[in-house]
Amino acid sequence: MKERKMIKNRYKIPVSFSLPRRIQRLSELSFNMWWSWNQDAQQLFRLIDKPLWDKLSHNPIAFLQQVDRSFLDKTINDLYFLDRYDAVLKKFDQYLEAKNTWFKVAYPQLNQEQIAYFSFEFGLHESLPVYAGGLGILAGDHLKTASDLGLPLVAVGFIYKNGYFMQSITEDGWQETRNFYLNYSEVPIIPLTDEIGKPLMISVELPGRSVWARIWQVNVGRGFLYLLDTDLDENEPNDRQLTSRLYSNDLEIRISQEILLGMGGVRALRLLGYKPTVWHMNEGHSAFLALERILELIEKGTSFEEAAEIVKKNNVFTTHTPVPAGNDQFPIWLIDKYFSQIWPKLNLSRDQFVELGKQAQTWGETFVMPVLALKLSEHINAVSELHGNVSRKMWNWLWPARNEDQAPITHITNGIHTSS
């Protein structure tokens, strides 16, 4: 199976709603996460049917599918609603079409640059549950802020059909955990297709087989988030589950996920026509992207050493975890199983490849994802001043010739995005 060319129209909304013509752009609005940080946009749905809006956890797509037609018909005779509707859509259009964003004004010479942002989770809104906690919320706020500032940023992650899990508190105060199943028809994901309408897909090589992933698009204001999905007929049953759940405890699933996110994510952006000049890894889960980028250069005749230096210069790594036990690491035998076909392509020996991520533990050596990211990134930051101190102490062994306070890890304190 050959990977297919990029589609010409990436913005076709996959769900049709039965809406009065006067308010039909609610459909378009529901498929851009901009509404999630615009209070006036949220109020439009609330004004139509507040009890249903609250019942559906403020999910505009599920709302428009389930709201009674009579409620919609009432709005076209409600001048107050129509005034607010027109104002919101005017603001939405002005936002998307703005030529004077902060980035374009401050850095006009960089308008052709592109930032690629990789994360295992993205917390944009509860109606798109592809996150578990703080890492995802930070990533989601990162995308929203990038959109507001006009940064030329695209992001890559996974669509999790079974998510992480949902938690609630019972009436008698006990914590209750339940699994859920994501209904794709009720979330703002747009299926990308090629010029003849077939799903746009990439593949990665795992032991003894290729695994295919479909690409879905989420519109995040002015930016895009691309989510990979392996639940395809082209894959074996086990591989179809690779993107079904966030944070599997199975190491083989975990390393397969991280190969797909890192190496497959690069291939997805290439297929979509992107040529990023900055590659940002939000935690170490996507660190294999550096290997894919090195492979691209080696295929053009560059040596590993030269390719690694080129890749390193525009890689950014944000580390979040303040304790070694929280960092993804794999036994060396698993690296042998999954990368024995890769290190020859990198012109490396087995020992040279393992050295890229090797860390000595009390129980033996392991391949540690943050180590790989740290070695192949020029720009490294922790997420607070204190965390910067902890990180320099934790990773200083990678730079034995430097004092702890000279380890090349800076800090950028986590911020939050505020609603407009």
Is the pLDDT at 1 greater than 70, yes or no? no
Mean pLDDT of 75-93: 97
The whole-angstrom separation of Cα 312 and Cα 296 is 14
pLDDT for the residue 148: 96
* Reported confidence tier of residue 43, pLDDT bands at 50, 70, 90: very high
- Across the chain, what does the average pLDDT equal? 92
- Based on the fold, state whether residues 176 and 121 are members of the same structural domain: yes
CA atoms in the 13 A half-sphere facing the CB of 3: 18
Nearest to 359 by CA among 388, 325, 386: 325
- Based on the fold, state whether residues 149 and 246 are members of the same structural domain: yes
pLDDT for the residue 26: 96
The whole-angstrom separation of Cα 215 and Cα 199 is 8
Nearest to 135 by CA among 34, 285, 245, 258: 285
Q: What is the token pair recorded at 296?
A: 């691209």
The whole-angstrom separation of Cα 239 and Cα 21 is 43
If one counts the domains in the chain, the total is 2
The pTM assigned to this predicted structure is 0.93
- Based on the fold, state whether residues 317 and 274 are members of the same structural domain: yes
pLDDT for the residue 142: 96
Q: What is the CATH number of the domain that holds 308?
A: 3.40.50.2000
The whole-angstrom separation of Cα 207 and Cα 390 is 37
Is the pLDDT at 10 greater than 70, yes or no? no
- Based on the fold, state whether residues 288 and 169 are members of the same structural domain: yes
- Based on the fold, state whether residues 81 and 121 are members of the same structural domain: no
* Reported confidence tier of residue 4, pLDDT bands at 50, 70, 90: very low
CA 372 to mean position of chain CA atoms = 20
Kindly report, residue by residue over 193-215, the tens digit of the pLDDT: 988 889 999 999 999 999 999 99
Is the pLDDT at 9 greater than 50, yes or no? no
Answer yes or no: is 1 within a domain: no
Q: What is the token pair recorded at 30?
A: 């529901």
Answer yes or no: is 83 within a domain: yes
- Based on the fold, state whether residues 89 and 211 are members of the same structural domain: no
Answer yes or no: is 6 within a domain: no
Kindly report, residue by residue over 311-331, the tens digit of the pLDDT: 999 999 999 988 766 789 999
Kindly report, residue by residue over 266-299, the tens digit of the pLDDT: 999 999 999 999 999 999 999 999 999 999 999 9
Selection from 124-133, 151-160, 164-173 with the highest mean pLDDT: 151-160
Is the pLDDT at 253 greater than 90, yes or no? yes
Answer yes or no: is 31 within a domain: yes
pLDDT for the residue 418: 86
Is the pLDDT at 7 greater than 60, yes or no? no
The whole-angstrom separation of Cα 175 and Cα 165 is 12
pLDDT for the residue 166: 67
pLDDT for the residue 325: 65
Q: Which amino acid is it at 234?
A: E
CA 84 to mean position of chain CA atoms = 33
* Reported confidence tier of residue 119, pLDDT bands at 50, 70, 90: very high
pLDDT for the residue 400: 92
Kindly report, residue by residue over 363-413, the tens digit of the pLDDT: 889 999 999 999 999 999 999 999 999 999 999 999 999 999 899 999 999
Query: Taking the CB of residue 313, how many other CB atoms lie within 10 A of it?
Result: 11
- Based on the fold, state whether residues 230 and 91 are members of the same structural domain: no
Is the pLDDT at 58 greater than 70, yes or no? yes
- Based on the fold, state whether residues 115 and 81 are members of the same structural domain: no
Looking at the chain, the number of H-run helices and the number of E-run strands are 17, 15
- Could you list the residue range(s) of the whole structural domain that residue 163 is in? 111-411
CA atoms in the 13 A half-sphere facing the CB of 214: 20
pLDDT for the residue 420: 60
pLDDT for the residue 2: 42
* Reported confidence tier of residue 419, pLDDT bands at 50, 70, 90: confident
Is the pLDDT at 6 greater than 80, yes or no? no
Q: What is the token pair recorded at 388?
A: 């910067």
Mean pLDDT of 99-126: 94
- Based on the fold, state whether residues 117 and 90 are members of the same structural domain: no
The whole-angstrom separation of Cα 385 and Cα 377 is 20
Mean pLDDT of 336-357: 97
Residue with tokens 């944009």: 124
Mean pLDDT of 171-176: 78
